[in-house]
Amino acid sequence: MINLYDIKDPKFLRDLSIKELKELAEEIRKFLIENVSKTGGHLSSNLGVVELTIAMHYVFQDPNDELLFDVGHQSYVHKILTGRAKDFKNLRGYGGMSGYIKRSESSYDIWESGHSSTSISAASGLNKSNPEKRQIVLIGDSSISNGVAFEGLNYLGQIKSNNSPIIILNDNKMGISKSVGALSKSLLRLRTTKFYRGFKGLLTKILPGFVVRFFHRLKRSMKGLIQRDNIFEDLGYDYYGPYYGHDIKALIRLFKRIKNNKGPVLIQLITTKGKGYKYAEEDKEGFHGVKPFDIETGLPLNNNDKKMSYSQALADFLVEKRKTNEFFVVTPAMKAGERLNKFSELYPESFIDCGIAEEHATLMCAGMALHNKRSILLMYSTFSQRSYDMFLNDIARQDLPVIVGIDRAGIVGFDGETHQGIYDVSMFLSMPNFYVLMPMDLKELIGLFNLAFEINHPVVIRYPKIDEDITKLDFNYKCELYWEYLTKGKSLCIIGYGPDIKRIAKIVDKNDLDVTVVNARSIRPMDLGILRSVFERFNKIIVFEQVVRNGGLYHNILEFKENNNFNSRVLTHSFTSNDIIPNGSLDDLYDKYGLTDEKIKEYIINNLDNN
């Protein structure tokens, strides 16, 4: 039995028999389930690529082979095989191992990929800059459907060199949610040609490599007899597949055979997301990214039924709102994350999952607005950045009334550097016409979305990845844009938005601090009446926001100060553009960045003393 903690690098794999490799695969599965059940993480994706990753490292050990993992959350097996099993005890924790590829962790980590679909283009650059090296790209979880991936495929299809990249398509029919779109249907046709798949599988197992290569060439010339054209061959790839992705022996033979191919190669492998753990196989969405759970039952640990996420509250509101209002809900492959399963079942004609295609989803909503159809576009803050140009030119410039829900705003914790939601405010405030709003609690979340339906301009409503105590939600409640005094004092004024400002008001009340706290729920437009009053009354103003300060509310308040010749000192409690927020629990990250209740209290008291 291989001790996973003794693994230093993948070279040992070639000393193992096929039987031992299969045992290793089962040991890795067991290890992943046990460890992720304690830390949380991306489980299903990694359980589906165990044999595949072992075979990749078994065959591609040449010093010139570079392994790239698109969507870093299918890289846990790679981390184990490159000597990092010991680091799983603090997976995604503060100071611990990243849940994604991280170049600083290992020389085997070639490409850092927190967002999907970037690996093929990255491989193009790596290949062009050093033609002696060959890139082996593992792309899956529906990332192939993204436009960036297609741009990379289109470019690489024309490269005919001895070391053209090899692309391995991990086809598990899933992203976070089930794959959608025409490409998914095209892949389905390839998967379901049972005679063709069985015939090829038999050839691979029983015939010598040169005979199989002959049949492969014969197939390419006569493919119309047994298989429809496929998009990959049309793009110029030597296409292999579909093959079963959990047979280590067959995978090793296949990879050895195509290793010396000239020109670009694409291999389609059929895998089962969540393989080896029944709860993950049965609930692929639920175990894509999972909190700590009980292995025996598959149920989350420390589940608090008395709390509700902002995503769930919004999803419940949209179900209720759709009873009396017509609108579309559009999301780029985030149906599960946005808790939209119920809405999609009740109103399938009003729900659109575009797959991993943020730019396309944004443009769709712009098109709907041109026909006076209201749409709600829901995506995570970190992914909204991919649609910057579409938000700017196609929604903001044309002043189209699209409502954009930005989830995971602010610090998100365990997902780490590539997923922190701290840039969207600066992004949207750089554009014309956008209203930018953020609620301080679930009640205001509902109120701002009701308000957004009455605004004939583009509206962004951002909300965090936290849970709150459940209260009875009034789905008819509506906020106003004006700011609100939460506390009133004479020594200092704090302006902010989101749950942080509500928490600050409680800290001020609890400690009887002589501080005025203002809920700036409308980041734009600013409440100029209250803002002017604040400058007239206070010598020191602190702007508190969980975003990068460049281009945020702080900078807009500074501009107001200069334009109106006020002398008050304006400070900010926020992030610099050089802050790269690591993975870790919210508690750890709040402590690091001065966001715990105790550190906020100390910060306020220090500024009172220095007033």
Residues 403 and 462 in one domain: yes
Confidence at residue 73, expressed as pLDDT on a 0 to 100 scale: 85
Residues 144 and 176 in one domain: yes
Catalytic residue at 233? no
| DSSP one-letter code for 72 | G
Q: Are 298 and 279 in contact (CB under 8 A)?
A: yes
What's the token pair of residue 395?
Answer: 């929604």
What's the token pair of residue 177?
Answer: 């949610």
d(CA 298, CA 558): 51
Please give the single-letter amino acid code of residue 298: G
**434, burial (CB in 10 Å: exposed 0-12, middle 13-18, buried 19+):** buried
Task: Note whether residue 479 is domain-resident.
Answer: no
Confidence at residue 225, expressed as pLDDT on a 0 to 100 scale: 46
Catalytic residue at 273? yes
Residue 139 has pLDDT above 50, yes or no: yes
Residues, the chain, total? 611
Task: Note whether residue 295 is domain-resident.
Answer: no
Q: In Å, how far are 172, 218, 268, 276, 402 from 191, measured between CA atoms?
A: 11, 20, 9, 21, 38
Average pLDDT over residues 265-272: 96
Q: What is the CATH number of the domain that holds 580?
A: 3.40.50.920
Q: Residue 398: CB partners within 8 Å, gap ≥ 6? A: 366
Task: Note whether residue 517 is domain-resident.
Answer: yes
Residue pLDDT, tens place only, 215-262: 555 455 444 445 556 889 999 999 999 999 999 999 999 999 999 888
Closest-CA residue to 272 (of 200, 138, 173): 173
Confidence at residue 216, expressed as pLDDT on a 0 to 100 scale: 53
Instruction: Please tell me which residue in 84, 92, 197, 273 is annotated as part of the active site.
Output: 273
Q: Which residues pair with 437 in a beta bridge?
A: 461, 522
Task: Note whether residue 437 is domain-resident.
Answer: yes
Q: Residue 520: give the domain boundaries.
A: 484-609
The region that residue 43 occupies, defined by phi over 0 for left and psi between -120 and 50 for alpha, beta otherwise, is alpha
Instruction: Please tell me which residue in 112, 285, 338, 358 is annotated as part of the active site.
Output: 358
Catalytic residue at 386? yes
What's the token pair of residue 229?
Answer: 């054209």
Confidence at residue 224, expressed as pLDDT on a 0 to 100 scale: 44
Residue pLDDT, tens place only, 392-419: 999 999 999 999 999 999 999 999 999 9
Confidence at residue 308, expressed as pLDDT on a 0 to 100 scale: 95
**What SS3 class is residue 224?**
helix
Confidence at residue 104, expressed as pLDDT on a 0 to 100 scale: 95
What's the token pair of residue 388?
Answer: 């910057």
Confidence at residue 222, expressed as pLDDT on a 0 to 100 scale: 45
Angle at 18 between CA 15 and CA 24, to 5 degrees: 80
Residue 108 has pLDDT above 60, yes or no: yes
Confidence at residue 208, expressed as pLDDT on a 0 to 100 scale: 61
At residue 197 the predicted structure's pLDDT band, cuts being 50, 70 and 90, is very low
d(CA 341, CA 177): 10
Residue 176 has pLDDT above 80, yes or no: no
Residues 352 and 450 in one domain: yes
d(CA 343, CA 318): 7
Residues 133 and 260 in one domain: yes
Task: Note whether residue 474 is domain-resident.
Answer: no
Residues 334 and 456 in one domain: yes
Residue 315 has pLDDT above 70, yes or no: yes
Q: Are 445 and 310 in contact (CB under 8 A)?
A: yes
Q: Residue 228: CB partners within 8 Å, gap ≥ 6? A: 189
At residue 175 the predicted structure's pLDDT band, cuts being 50, 70 and 90, is very low
Please give the single-letter amino acid code of residue 502: K
d(CA 292, CA 582): 20
Q: What is the CATH number of the domain that holds 44?
A: 3.40.50.970
**What SS3 class is residue 127?**
helix
Average pLDDT over residues 489-504: 98
Q: For helices 50-59 and 248-258, give the axis angle rounded to 10 degrees.
A: 40
Residues 332 and 440 in one domain: yes
pTM of the model: 0.89
Q: Are 536 and 400 in contact (CB under 8 A)?
A: no
Residues 164 and 15 in one domain: yes
Strand ranges (E), 458-520: 459-462, 467-469, 484-487, 492-496, 515-519
* Count: domains in the chain: 3
Of the ranges 100-109, 169-178, 290-299, 370-379, which one carries the lowest mean pLDDT score? 169-178
Task: Note whether residue 291 is domain-resident.
Answer: no
Residues 104 and 251 in one domain: yes
Average pLDDT over residues 317-342: 96
d(CA 48, CA 142): 13
For the chain, what is the mean pLDDT? Answer: 91
Residues 382 and 488 in one domain: no
Q: In Å, how far are 14, 33, 415, 481 from 41, measured between CA atoms?
A: 30, 10, 8, 38
Of the ranges 194-208, 257-271, 559-573, which one carries the lowest mean pLDDT score? 194-208
Please, how many CA atoms are within 13 Å of residue 133, restricted to the half-sphere of its CB?
Answer: 18
Residues 237 and 272 in one domain: yes
Task: Note whether residue 62 is domain-resident.
Answer: yes
What's the token pair of residue 482?
Answer: 């004006």
Residues 358 and 228 in one domain: no
Task: Note whether residue 301 is domain-resident.
Answer: no
At residue 203 the predicted structure's pLDDT band, cuts being 50, 70 and 90, is low
Between 360 and 175, the more confident residue is 360
The domain boundary, picked from 469, 499, 533, lies at: 469
Confidence at residue 113, expressed as pLDDT on a 0 to 100 scale: 79
Instruction: Please tell me which residue in 339, 386, 408, 465 is annotated as part of the active site.
Output: 386
Residues 493 and 451 in one domain: no
